[in-house]
Amino acid sequence: MKRYSAFAVAREALSYHTGWGRAWRAPEPKPRYDVIIVGAGGHGLATAYYLGKNFGITNVAVLEKGWLGGGNTGRNTTIIRSNYLQDPSAAIYEKSRALYENLSQDLNYNVMFSPRGVIMLAQTEHEVRGYRRTAHANALQGVTTEWISPARVKELVPIINLDGPRYPVLGGLWQARGGTARHDAVAWGYARACSAMGMDIIQQCEVTGVRREGGKVMGVDTTRGAIDCDKLGIVVAGHSGVLADMAGFRLPIESVALQALVSEPIKPCMDVVVMANTVHGYMSQSDKGEMVIGGGADGYNNYTQRGSFHHVEETVRALIETFPMISRLKMLRQWGGIVDMTGDRSPILSKTPVEGVFINCGWGTGGFKAIPGSGWGMAELIAKGHSPLTDAFSLDRFKEGRFIDESVAAGVAH
């Protein structure tokens, strides 16, 4: 792999940049791999990367039915934070946030991590109590957050209206080291690093069946032929239930669409991320000047990746009260992604009833922020059979009643 640097750019300029190679290879599938990861999104690629980096397992294939990063990794609003209430959640999200800080150097690829800070607005007395509680919990967990006053919120976000008639701002939970990253760059950086280790990233290769023998996985059938493996990782977000059915077990998840939109680009006006969970709206400004806006998940199960007018209206109507200036903006584009929701709004990183099959799903609306931590823990789970980061997120918790309830703790699981 040719190392990226300012010197490399200058050197390639002498030959009119004709010497750059492909960022990752496009190989044909081999008959057998030690590990197959299904899903070339952020979580799948991060799992493969840390299998190689941390455990030396490089005979790995990452299979993708579409194009690399074309699912939820390329369809989210890029928020990174770790201010969760429950200890297992805070541990894996804080691990992820810490890995994001040095990810560009680690991958030798600029993921454009921007620790601009995240504010979660408290707009009801219930949220005030909840966020104060979370701030105390975060202090015990070693996660740096603080409760801030409305005046401090206004100082950080000058365009905000504190005195909305329905949703006044009563304060906020502030995480200064939270922020955003470039979603495509995260996927591309991991893919490039995996390819450099000799792993095969195989696009346009849909899994059509999981072959088992005596309760153990033997391989997968794909649109590009049968491939054998010793271990199989299923990391396909909203399609996790479909793959689990192929493997012969069921998952306690449901798939719904989550919609987002961006405005036309404008001059810089907001340099933090603001989340307003009472109205299920959140907003940040991209490097290009667009206001990136998201809302809650659809209220019914579906697999659509399109937006809908009523959702735009519902999300923007509430945000306009808090940010009056956005009422004058035009919407540039809108889209949806398929998210997988568990009952307690916490993920599943677990062994399964089929020996050699591991599942990583249930991230719901908050998967992007967890990509490095999820990959780190999932790789350890596949390589060693358990991981301190993932032990609490096993499938067994649903039959044992060990729920990690972030639906109440976080208000919304973004």
Query: Would you say residue 410 has pLDDT above 70?
Result: no
361-394 confidence digits (pLDDT tens) = 999 888 999 999 999 999 999 999 999 999 999 9
Least confident of 77-91, 127-141, 174-188, 309-323: 309-323
DSSP 3-state percent helix, strand, coil across the chain (nearest 5): 35, 25, 40
Please compute the mean of the pLDDT values over residues 26-30 and round it to a whole number.
95
Determine the CATH number of domain 118-177+255-339. 3.30.9.10
Q: What is the model's pLDDT at position 408?
A: 55
Q: Report H helices in 56-161.
A: 87-101, 103-107, 125-141, 150-156
E-assigned strands of 264-384?
A: 273-276, 281-285, 291-297, 331-342, 348-351, 357-361
Name the pLDDT band for 409 (thresholds 50, 70, 90). low
pLDDT at residue 326 greater than cutoff 60: yes
Task: Please check whether residue 118 is in contact with residue 175, taking contact to mean a CB–CB distance below 8 angstroms.
Answer: yes
Please name the residues in contact with 7: beta carbons below 8 A apart, sequence gap of 6 or more: none
Mapped onto helix, strand or coil, the DSSP state of residue 222 is: strand
- Say if domain 26-109+183-252+344-400 classifies as CATH 3.40.630.30: no
**Do 26-109+183-252+344-400 and 118-177+255-339 come out as alike in CATH topology?**
no
Q: Which of 344, 368, 315 is nearest to 254 (CA)?
A: 344
Residue 227 has a pLDDT of 97
Conformational region of residue 219, where left means phi above 0, alpha means psi within -120 to 50, and beta covers everything else:
left
Q: How far apart are CA 327 and CA 309, in angstroms?
A: 16
Residue 318 confidence (pLDDT): 79
CA quadruple 363, 183, 64, 351: dihedral positive or negative? negative
Helix, strand, or coil here: 43?
helix
Q: Phi/psi class of residue 380: alpha, beta or left (left: φ > 0; alpha: ψ in -120 to 50)? A: alpha
- Report which of 60, 72, 79 is spatially closest to residue 236, judged by C-alpha positions: 72
Question: What pLDDT does residue 280 have?
Answer: 79
Name the pLDDT band for 413 (thresholds 50, 70, 90).
Answer: very low
Token pair listed for 301: 């199960």
Q: What is the pLDDT of residues 66-76, one digit of tens each?
A: 999 999 999 89
Tens digits of per-residue pLDDT, 95-114? 999 999 999 999 999 999 99
Are the CB atoms for 236 and 210 separated by under 8 Å?
Answer: no
Across 141-155, average pLDDT: 97
pLDDT band at 166 (very low <50, low <70, confident <90, very high): confident
Give the confidence band of 350 by pLDDT, cuts at 50, 70, 90: very high
- Domains of the chain, by residue range, sit at 26-109+183-252+344-400, 118-177+255-339
Calculate what percentage of the chain has a pLDDT beyond 90: 79
**Overall average pLDDT of the 311-328 stretch:** 86
Distance of CA 33 to the CA centre of its chain: 26
According to DSSP, the residues that pair with 192 across neighbouring strands are: none
Structure confidence at residue 94 (pLDDT):
97
Angle formed by the axes of helices 371-384 and 42-55, to 10°? 50
Instruction: Please state, rounded to an integer, the average pLDDT across all residues of the chain.
Output: 93
User: What are the pLDDT digits (tens) for 118-134?
Assistant: 999 999 999 999 999 99
Q: Is the pLDDT of residue 93 over 80?
A: yes
Residue-wise pLDDT for 167-208, tens only, equals 899 999 999 999 999 999 999 999 999 999 999 999 999 999
